[in-house]
Amino acid sequence: MRPHGIIGAMRRTVWGILAALLLVLVSGCSFATKDPDYVPPAPLPPLEQLQQVPVSEQTTLAAGEDVTAFVTGDRNIVCAMTSSRGGHLNLPYEANSYSDAANNKFAVVPVVHCELAAYAKAELDDMADDCAGTGLGYLGGTALLTPDKAVYGSCRSGVTQMESEFGPKGSRNGPISKLRELADGQNIERNGLRCSAYNGGVACGNVSGGVAFFVSREGYQLVSDGGKTVRGSLKEGF
């Protein structure tokens, strides 16, 4: 190539670089590089998550009269924000006797009930029932929140509906499969109780009462005393 040809090519290259820089300045574009030393912040404790994240729209999560129900995106947890009368729960995915006339004498209490397809065992100190005096059959995989208490596990035989549908040998078909999803990071509220899907699980609580639980396939937390007391199989910072 002749000298003037080389010079011309160099000029075109310089002008091309200048034009690209000008385009970046005009368009306001910026380029970001990943910081190898960045450590994402730890997830919020359950009560803080429920308090700080704005409440989302929940009308699409209705599951029958006076019940709001949802599943998580990974189909590992189902929850119903519902009511209890004399310990009988109004659940859209489990057979129950909530509507029996004999229960009309009991007060209606707002509750949240959750079931897990894969779950951790209940710690001995967190078993809230002696199972009719036998001490047998208290299993994990469920959580119950009332306005003043959070409990993990329950007395039962066999599998829950969530295990039946989405456990290792689940059918993937049934009442839970028809429920809507609560997206990760969203909060919903019903009758003063809140739930949030985050950090691979679900937190539900009574923020004003300082009571909550967090459940996931790895373990659970039970929170009381405004967050001062934390029990369960997960570490406090989980």
Q: What tokens were used for 139? A: 């299993």
Q: Convert the pLDDT of each residue in 112-170 to its tens digit.
A: 999 999 999 999 999 999 999 998 999 999 999 999 999 999 999 999 999 999 999 99
HSE-up of residue 98 (Cα within 13 Å, Cβ side): 21
Percent of all residues in the chain with a pLDDT value above 70, rounded to a whole number: 79
pLDDT at residue 236 in the model: 64
CB neighbourhood size of 168 (10 A): 7
pTM value is 0.81
HSE-up of residue 92 (Cα within 13 Å, Cβ side): 24
Distances (CA, A) of 24 to 29, 37, 166: 5, 27, 50
For residue 38, pLDDT beyond 50:
yes
Q: Convert the pLDDT of each residue in 77-108 to its tens digit.
A: 999 999 999 999 999 999 999 999 999 999 99
